Amino acid sequence: MSLSQEPGGKMKWLPWLVLLWTAVLSFLVRDSLDFRMNYPMTEQGPVKEGWFSVDPDGLYHARRLHRLMEEGAPVAERDSAMNYPEGARIPWPPYYTYALRGLTAPMLGGETESLQVAVERAVSSLPLWFGVLTSMVVALAAYRLGGAFAGLAAGTYHALTYGAAHYAMPGVGDHHAWVSLLAALMLLALSEGILRGALEKSRSAWLWGGIAGALAGLNLGSWVASLLYILEVQLLFACLLFVHARRSKPGLPALGLAFHLTALLVVMPAVFSSPWKEAFPWMVVNLSWFHATELGLGALVFVPLLALHPNPVLVRRYPWIVGAVLAGAGLLLWIADLGPAAGIREGFAWVSRADLFMAGIAESAPLLGSEATIPGGWGRWLGYGLMALMPAWLWVSLQCWKQRKEAVLPWLVATPILLAQALGQARFSDALSGPMALVLALAAAGLFHRLRSWKPDWGNPIPSLAVAALLWIGLIGMQWPAIAYGLDRCQHLEEDRASQSFWKLGAYRLLHEWLAEQDGEGAVLAAWDQGHALEWVAGRPSVATNFGSYVGEAGFLAPARFFTASDPKAAEEVLRRHQIGEVLVHSDLENTFPHLRNQVFSVESGQLEPPRWKASMVRQLMPLTESLRSGEGPQVDFLRLIHVSPFLDTTHRPRLSKDLGPARSLPCGWVWQRVAGARLEAEGSARATLSVDIRLRYPSGREYSYQAESVVGEDGLARLRIPYNTESLNGEAEVISAEWRFQSRRGRLIVREQDVLNGNRIKLD
């Protein structure tokens, strides 16, 4: 039985039909998972028309593209708005931004919208088409390797795979759909090249090796973790070296050399511009000389083969010689902790820090095991075909070996590596879905041809149409979790858009837009998931980022240290160090608190006990009653509340305590401003108490009372720090009344704005 069943010459339209079906299905699946957000609704309708994106990485890509359009080339490699005030290197290489610039140029020519809105929507729309193209690439590869049924099966399975669609939904602007497209094209180029004789003919080898290498270099220059996909190809070449040792493959040296040299040439501009190579010349997790060296060494492996071709003895021994030399050199470098070895060692350290800091991110969670918290689990993300993957892989591998079908090897080598990655981190489901769909399709095609030719004892052969229908139903059934999820989304899409869960995200967006309208100074501190929105929408520097420790450990930990602090002085010091102007508190911070607490407690292991919710700073900054004093801590006197979201988070369910009250009473967010605070002093007898009561009203209709008191000290003075002026607006807060009390006296409290901003002293007579 042949692994490949090519269609007849009279059916030249068949591949186009397979590709058309795949494209339409892939588009419909991704479009049904629409992740474009609407603004909150009021009785008069939506607050604002149009949609926006809440994908943090997509918003940063939009901002980087906008900077390229405003500032011109080259793409920015540093960002002064992150890790404020020090700034930070940008961990992403520049090629995806250049690709976005070229691809969005036709979409950004109109004058009907502001440039910023147009950029955001364009960046958040392209990944859908990357996902559709990836499905078509997988279908084409399967068609070329296994015939029409295999192409149709692979395209269908990939189109339905939620793990492949997750990064290609409308409204998501992340780079993963682009990266997976390039990875699939690279595998297609290698398999197509082998089909066209690249292992036998040098001319074909140089062509297809160069195409695959260019795609690899472009991918590495878009996302550094694409090195994993290059390692897959290098493992493929290692397998082919052993094949070459037994059966001469005269085109292999040219194929391997062309791949590595082209990849090196394509990625070198990004390496030269990388800001990481200066401080970390051999870093693995960001672009450095390590990646150029790795590709260069890969090219050198194939140079001797060009001269060894006439010598069969050395050719047979060459794979073992190469393995021994590389292993010995690597061991020496590792022991000496030099060059690339030092970069790999540092890479493991960075990975451990990423695990520590980023463990709460959904896409980093595994698909199997006790820590598998991904909604829908592996059944939705990869389909039940996962259970048949390894048997199918073994069968296809056996057929490949028997029939000497080296063209299937690129996909076979990639599958187990990506399977291990996807089961460990859900984000790699996208990359796995292509090879997985192809392997399952080739196995299904083999079963199809066997059943079609099988003649049972009790009658005639089973009709081909019946066999195809049976296998088709089985294929669709394997993706039932994803299909059911997509159908549910389609049925309730408008309800979802009008739901409180979606409105809440719109309310968060309005907080960012409100900040954009203010003349604030300094950075904004918030939970990590708000950072890129603050930088892009609010146009403000942030001390909140999901780039993790890439931006510097102190900057990444600052929000956790502030929000979990029970000591106001320690919390204020965090704000002072990072020159914070405002603090954004959103209604989901209670859910984020355990993650923030784990960050601080893990790093600052000298603490006797982890931070407590009720004593934390974040609890004090989520006022629900009329008093601005919340939780168990003292009154915060270095922040004033300048904005309260008019929208309520009715989806909130208290997790850590019941003191947050009913869900209907929880605003979606608060904005606090850091101020010096006026210094109020009163002279009196020992143990006399000075107290103030300032009542505030906000446009949202909420009223709060700021109350503070102080006892006369040994020097005969009672001192209070007042963060609110009483003569004008405090942001949006209007002062209804302001009163002081001391001993038997009371009076109207008068505090000017300059007193609050400059920390002026006010003495009560």
- DSSP line for 449-508: HHHHH---TTSSPPPHHHHHHHHHHHHHHHTHHHHHHHHHHHHTHHHHHTSHHHHHHHHH
**220 or 503: whose pLDDT is higher?**
220
DSSP of 349-360: HHHHHHHHHHTT
Question: For residue 567, is it within any domain?
Answer: no
From 381, 479, 390, 388, select the one nearest 423 (Cα to Cα).
Answer: 381
Question: For residue 283, is it within any domain?
Answer: yes
Number of domains, the chain: 2
The confidence score (pLDDT) of residue 542 equals: 92
**125 or 1: whose pLDDT is higher?**
125
Of 453, 486, 519, the residue that ends a domain is 486
State pLDDT tens for residues 445-474. 888 777 766 655 555 556 667 777 788 788
Of 442, 458, 486, the residue that ends a domain is 486
> Using CB atoms within 10 A of its CB, is residue 70 exposed (0-12), middle (13-18) or buried (19+)?
exposed
Quickly tell me which residue has 């691809």 as its tokens.
Answer: 103
Asked if 433 contacts 415 with a C-beta cutoff of 8 angstroms, the reply is no
Question: For residue 98, is it within any domain?
Answer: no
Question: For residue 619, is it within any domain?
Answer: no
pLDDT at 703 over 50: yes
Give the domain CATH number at 762: 2.60.40.3390
> Using CB atoms within 10 A of its CB, is residue 685 exposed (0-12), middle (13-18) or buried (19+)?
exposed
Question: For residue 492, is it within any domain?
Answer: no
**172 or 113: whose pLDDT is higher?**
172
Q: What is the mean pLDDT of residues 82-108?
A: 90
What are the helix and strand counts (H, E) for the chain?
Answer: 29, 18
**64 or 425: whose pLDDT is higher?**
64
Question: For residue 326, is it within any domain?
Answer: yes
From 136, 28, 167, 153, select the one nearest 479 (Cα to Cα).
Answer: 153
Question: For residue 718, is it within any domain?
Answer: yes
Is the peptide bond prior to 74 cis by the omega test (within 30 degrees of 0)?
yes
Strands 523-525 and 88-89: unpaired
Question: For residue 378, is it within any domain?
Answer: yes
The confidence score (pLDDT) of residue 353 equals: 44
pLDDT-derived band at 112 (thresholds 50, 70, 90) equals: very low
Of 426, 452, 486, the residue that ends a domain is 486
Q: What is the mean pLDDT of residues 87-112?
A: 85
Strands 639-644 and 669-674: antiparallel
State pLDDT tens for residues 714-743. 888 989 999 999 999 999 999 999 999 998
Residue 708 belongs to domain spanning:
675-765
pLDDT-derived band at 485 (thresholds 50, 70, 90) equals: confident
Q: What is the mean pLDDT of residues 394-414?
A: 92
Is the peptide bond prior to 7 cis by the omega test (within 30 degrees of 0)?
no
